């Protein structure tokens, strides 16, 4: 008679057979190494979530190292499934988040910003759009903990202007209250 193997599916990941688990499922090397910031944004996120470290499955935590070139930006983005707690290790960052769609239609979205220095800690609440910008003339880096083993990330400009197929010009011109040429220009930056 054939044996039946049952898999437990938790938070989007299948739990590994306990007999197949090894110490390497709980180990990730290399966060001491800076990420390559030679890109248009001048930043690099090195994630350590359940995709890189299987031992995080079901634990509800993950982390990242973020490196910034001088004037590098981790652009406006959101984590739909996690709050982020960031600690500056090196450099000076201008960071912020914006509230989203207040219940009272007379209240506008509010931007919260702060300049951070080594040792400073800042919290980005779950689901809110946030950013970090290196305002210093030297490299910067941070570590951040996230309250999910798979926090997800949506980079706002990439999603809105870089979709395939493109979001309709009619939709974007009305949403952003600019002319079609501006939208076409922005979309071209992400193709």
Known binding residues: 74, 77, 79, 84, 130
Indicate the annotated binding residues for oxalate: 74, 79, 84
Indicate the annotated binding residues for Mn(2+): 77, 79, 84, 130
Query: What is the C-alpha to C-alpha distance for residues 154 and 156, in angstroms, rounded to an integer?
Result: 6
Q: DSSP letter at 80?
A: T
- Give yes or no for a contact between 74 and 93, defined as CB atoms under 8 angstroms apart: no
Question: Measured between alpha carbons, how far is residue 24 from residues 120, 171, 187 in Å?
Answer: 32, 48, 42
Radius of gyration of the chain (CA): 20
- Give yes or no for a contact between 145 and 85, defined as CB atoms under 8 angstroms apart: yes
């Amino acid at each position: 008679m054939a044996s039946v193997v049952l898999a437990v599916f938790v938070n989007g990941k299948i739990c590994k057979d306990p007999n197949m688990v090894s110490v390497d499922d709980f180990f990730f090397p290399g966060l001491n190494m800076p990420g390559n910031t030679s890109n248009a944004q001048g930043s690099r996120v090195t994630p350590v979530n359940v995709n890189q470290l299987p031992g995080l499955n079901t634990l509800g935590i993950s982390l990242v190292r973020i490196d910034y070139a001088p004037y590098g930006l981790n652009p406006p983005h959101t984590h739909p499934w996690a709050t982020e707690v960031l600690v500056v290790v090196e450099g000076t960052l201008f960071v912020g988040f914006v509230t989203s769609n207040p219940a009272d239609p007379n209240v506008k979205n509010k931007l919260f910003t702060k300049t951070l220095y080594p040792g400073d800690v800042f919290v980005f609440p779950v689901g809110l759009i946030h950013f970090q910008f290196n305002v210093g003339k030297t490299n910067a880096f941070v570590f951040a903990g996230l309250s999910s083993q798979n926090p997800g990330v949506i980079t706002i400009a990439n999603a809105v202007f870089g979709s395939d197929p493109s979001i309709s010009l009619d939709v974007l011109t009305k949403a952003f209250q600019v002319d079609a040429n501006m939208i076409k220009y922005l979309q071209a930056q992400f193709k």
